[in-house]
Amino acid sequence: MNERRVPDWLTRWEYAHRGLHGPETPENSLAAAEAAIAAGMGIECDIQLSADNHPIVFHDWELDRLTGTAGVTATRSAAELEQLFLQGTGHRPFRLATLLERIAGRVPVLIEIKSRARYSIAPSCAAVRALLADYTGPVAVMSFDPRVARWFRRHAPQVCAGLVMREDAHGDTQTPWRRRLTLRIAQPDFLAYHVAALPSRWVAGLRAEGLPVLTWTVNSLETRARALAHADALISEGAGLA
């Protein structure tokens, strides 16, 4: 269904979900990224946009779960976010620019651009595009929001862009017609499909047509076996790691 050539590296790697994190190493930390590199894994990370339009490697819209500080992530400047601590450790949030400089092409990176209802995705997409303009390592972007893949297809077609999708009570793709509409809007280079929704006849059909399928979050031996049987690459953590 997609005439664009997907880079060969995309399905040759296993990706550490939010980096290779654990009890002493917070998710989406530089230490988690370095641990993934040391383990020979690619890195999946999330970005939120700071108040001054810097992509920050951070998952949540609010600060409390990850930093113990009250407030909305997007209301803080990049410099303010970099002064916080992650999960009671000495690790701090950091900019996507810092992560790309640290990785320096050693392993692939999947950048999930966060979005939600009534959120303007253009500033986040443009900020990420600017950072990727001079980056020569293997990199792809992805999002639950189909507008993100569509934006990159129109404004940065050289960037591999994927669609993240799930079928449970979260998100907006619980029904087959919503999934098909979302896919039509996105026209993605790949899918990153929820492992709990596999196997899926629809996904298997798309895969047979040549659309690469990654799957998340592989976090147990059971989900690992399912992912290996029904997807092209794994996004893993915890007990789901090889």
> What is the domain extent for residue 230?
8-240
How high does pLDDT run on average in the chain? Answer: 97
Question: Is position 1 within any domain?
Answer: no
The predicted structure's pLDDT at residue 1: 47
Q: Taking the CA atoms of the chain, what radius of gyration do you get in angstroms?
A: 17
**Polymer length in residues for the chain:** 242
Q: How many domains does the chain have?
A: 1
Q: How far is CA 118 from CA 115, 121, 122, 147, 154, in A?
A: 9, 9, 12, 12, 21
The CATH number for 55's domain is: 3.20.20.190
Interval 161-217: pLDDT, tens = 999 999 999 989 999 999 999 999 999 999 999 999 999 999 999 999 999 999 999
Q: Is residue 80 part of a domain?
A: yes
What's the start-to-end Cα distance of the chain, in Å? 32
Q: Is the pLDDT of residue 2 over 80?
A: no
216-233 confidence digits (pLDDT tens): 999 999 999 999 999 999
Nearest to 139 by CA among 98, 192, 100: 100
What pLDDT, in 10s, does the model give residues 132-141?
999 999 999 9
Residue 161's DSSP bridge partners are 141
